[in-house]
């Protein structure tokens, strides 16, 4: 099976190179793509600086792909991978204990996969994750917050094998005047909805990180599946 992928960048990248990039990205070292051309254009531009949406086709046959959106995982698995790669603000004993608990019980051997599908933690979305481990928002609210602004998913190539199976198709120019404005609107929309008190108010039965720790909830706990509505 083949997938169309797009990579937003300031550069035209005809041959993605395995082993290069920023190791402190969401899922560590890898080539970060999206299946949405518009999203790639937003990711590729800066203020007053055009970018490119590089286009590829990936042959997925033979690849082990970790889909963090599947029913085998919950958002705490995604958050735990984030904790292993991004620099979180750990201002309290609760946040430190939360990090240790998640790393112990929700870790995924993500480095053994050829590719990963999961959320992209832009600045706003990363701050939502920090709020959760600091005890400021509930598990339900974290799940809800990750859909704000419709940031979408990213598809990350991790292994040398995956890099060998991607083919460059070309690129489209992303005009900063159009796509940077759209990126800013998306981020502002997410933040505005996140701070909407009426939509984000406490609901009876909400689960917070301190409860997850105290009651030793694990990934198979039905409460982590039933508390999202």
pLDDT by residue, tens only, the chain of 229 residues? 899 999 999 999 999 999 877 777 889 999 999 999 999 999 999 999 999 999 999 999 999 999 998 989 999 999 999 999 987 777 778 999 999 999 999 999 999 999 999 988 776 667 888 889 999 889 998 888 776 655 668 999 999 999 999 999 999 999 999 999 998 888 787 777 777 754 567 778 899 999 999 999 999 998 887 655 5
Cα 47 from Cα 107, distance rounded (Å): 37
Residues in a beta bridge with 173: 52
Q: Where are the domains of the chain?
A: 2-226
The answer to whether the CB of 89 falls within 8 A of the CB of 37 is no
């Amino acid at each position: 099976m083949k997938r169309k992928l797009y990579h937003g960048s300031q550069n035209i990248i005809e041959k993605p190179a395995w082993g290069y990039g920023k190791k402190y990205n969401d899922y560590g070292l890898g080539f970060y793509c999206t299946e949405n051309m518009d999203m790639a254009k937003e990711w590729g531009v800066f203020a007053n600086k055009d970018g490119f949406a590089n286009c590829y086709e990936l042959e997925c046959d033979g690849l082990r792909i970790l889909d963090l959106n599947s029913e085998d995982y919950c958002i705490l698995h995604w958050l735990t991978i984030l904790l292993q790669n991004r620099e979180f603000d750990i201002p309290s004993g609760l946040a430190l204990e939360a990090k240790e608990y998640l790393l112990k019980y929700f870790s995924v051997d993500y480095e053994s996969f050829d590719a990963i599908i999961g959320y992209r933690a832009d600045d706003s979305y990363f701050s939502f994750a920090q709020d959760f481990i600091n005890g400021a928002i509930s598990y339900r609210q974290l799940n809800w917050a990750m859909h704000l602004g419709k940031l979408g998913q990213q598809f990350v190539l991790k292994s040398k094998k995956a890099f060998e199976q991607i083919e460059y198709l070309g690129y489209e120019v992303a005009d900063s005047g159009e796509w940077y404005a759209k990126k800013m609107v998306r981020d502002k929309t997410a933040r505005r909805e996140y701070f909407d008190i009426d939509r984000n108010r406490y609901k009876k039965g909400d689960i917070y990180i301190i409860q997850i720790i105290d009651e030793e909830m694990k990934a198979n706990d039905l409460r982590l599946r039933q508390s999202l509505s």
